[in-house]
Amino acid sequence: MPPPTPAPPAIAADEDALLLLVAAGGAVDPRRRLLERSGGAAQALAAGPAVWRECGLTAAQVQKLARPDAPRLANAGKWLRQPGHHLLGCHHPDYPALLLRAPNPPLALFVAGDPTRLWHPSVAIVGTRGPTPAGTAHASEFARALARSGLAVTSGLAAGIDTAAHEATLASGGITVAVLGTGPDVAYPRGNARLLARIASEGAVVSEHLPGTRPLASHFPSRNRIIAGLSLATLVIEAAWKSGALITARLAAEAGRDVFALPGSIRNPMARGCHRLIREGAGLVEDPAEVIAALAPQAQVLARDLRTRLDAPIHRGEEIVGRAASDSAADDPDYQQLWLALGHDPTNMDELVTRTGLTAAAVSSMLLLMELDGRVQAQHGRYFRNR
């Protein structure tokens, strides 16, 4: 007699309750207050309508909590039970600290992939869906250089600049994060379905919307606040005078993050948005090294937060980072291999990858932590021994 088929893993009660709070929709602040007051999603749900209203939930939100959309929640639960899928509430210790410090952070994040990727120091690369060939080349060039320096690249999986940035980062072995204006399982445009799957496998896909949510125009400006909030800085490659990329740049500035823009030809309508940003105070950049140098101090602080988080991870972080962050990191063979590959002369990321045979993602993660230990210094994307 064949053994019984194992049942799928159950969703924790807190996750189940958090799904209900996400599905209630509407303003985030009242639901966040409810979470904070109750101490958790399950407790928030059990508090009942009177407490919900006291926290500011509207009648529509109260009704959705009292009478949830069962089929939609069942679909979300099915998605959550799959390997590599996560739901992080804003009260969760794995919720990215940088996003939590930005204005109006989402109540919860659906993550396909590794949640610790959201803690990795990153730069948002955004721009038009219809770039010039030069714009596409610039997006790829900057993404490759940022990835090789150890920074992650965040973007929105849109056609054009976003796609070029994601693809170039993956080709370089770097870390990329895609923030969606749909559910985490819905590629938009549809032609990026394979790219979505690859990012989920090698980086992280993020959405504040329930799985199965289709693209709506109103979702994309709010999606842009997550892109800006997850990133140390936003880099605009090409953008028209009125562009979603400019919304991301404005949101980044409001969150206290750096904004950079590439200048272009005065004859190129896709450069006008960048010129507008530069006139308004964005940093004019012509070379990736300028972005890397400007962000190095902030990246160090965020990397320290990442190391602290990985000391006691709730979700599986990247294995090599967890080992490098431990007391026994010096005994790790990969760590030692990288140390031996480093010299006293500055060496770029490509050369270190060639010398060690490790992936660029593993090398960049270890280098960040070696910098924190004071063993390595970086100058313009090149690394050398500090002692």
pLDDT (0 to 100) of residue 87 = 95
Global pTM reads: 0.76
pLDDT (0 to 100) of residue 376 = 81
3-state secondary structure of 152: strand
Residue 124 sits at φ, ψ, to 5 deg, of -85, 130
* Secondary structure element (H or E) that encloses residue 377, with its range: strand 376-379
pLDDT surpassing 90 at residue 199? yes
pLDDT digits (tens, 9 = 90+) for 235-249: 999 999 888 899 999
pLDDT surpassing 70 at residue 227? yes
pLDDT (0 to 100) of residue 375 = 77
DSSP state of 103: S
Per-state percent for the chain, helix, strand, coil, to nearest 5: 50, 10, 35
DSSP string over 282-325: PEE-SSHHHHHHHHHHHHHHHHHHHHHHHTS-SS---HHHHHHH
pLDDT digits (tens, 9 = 90+) for 126-161: 999 999 999 999 999 999 999 988 899 999 999 999
pLDDT (0 to 100) of residue 243 = 85
* Secondary structure element (H or E) that encloses residue 178, with its range: strand 176-179
User: pLDDT grade, residue 308 (50/70/90)?
Assistant: low
Helices then strands, each counted (H, E), the chain:
18, 12
Q: Across the strands, what pairs with 152? A: 122
For residues 22 and 13, the model is more confident at: 22
pLDDT digits (tens, 9 = 90+) for 362-379: 776 677 667 656 678 776
pLDDT digits (tens, 9 = 90+) for 206-217: 999 999 999 998
Structural domain spans, the chain: 10-77, 115-292, 318-385
Nearest 5°: the CA angle 146, 151, 155 is: 80
pLDDT digits (tens, 9 = 90+) for 315-365: 323 332 333 333 334 456 777 788 888 877 788 877 888 888 887 667 766
The CATH code belonging to domain 115-292 is 3.40.50.450
Buried b (16+ CB within 10 A) or exposed e, 144-175: bbbbbbbbbbbbbbbebbbbbbbbbbbebbbb
pLDDT digits (tens, 9 = 90+) for 246-277: 999 999 999 899 999 999 999 999 999 999 99
Residue 379 sits at φ, ψ, to 5 deg, of -140, 115
pLDDT surpassing 90 at residue 15? no
Q: What is the mean pLDDT of the chain?
A: 85
Cis bond upstream, residue 211 (ω within 30)? no
pLDDT (0 to 100) of residue 383 = 79
CB 121 within 8 A of CB 299: yes
pLDDT-above-90 percentage for the chain: 57
User: pLDDT grade, residue 302 (50/70/90)?
Assistant: low
Starting at the edge strand found earlier in the chain, the sheet holding 204-207 runs 85-89, 108-113, 204-207, 176-179, 152-155, 122-126, 233-236, 258-261, 283-284
pLDDT (0 to 100) of residue 113 = 94
The CATH code belonging to domain 318-385 is 1.10.10.10
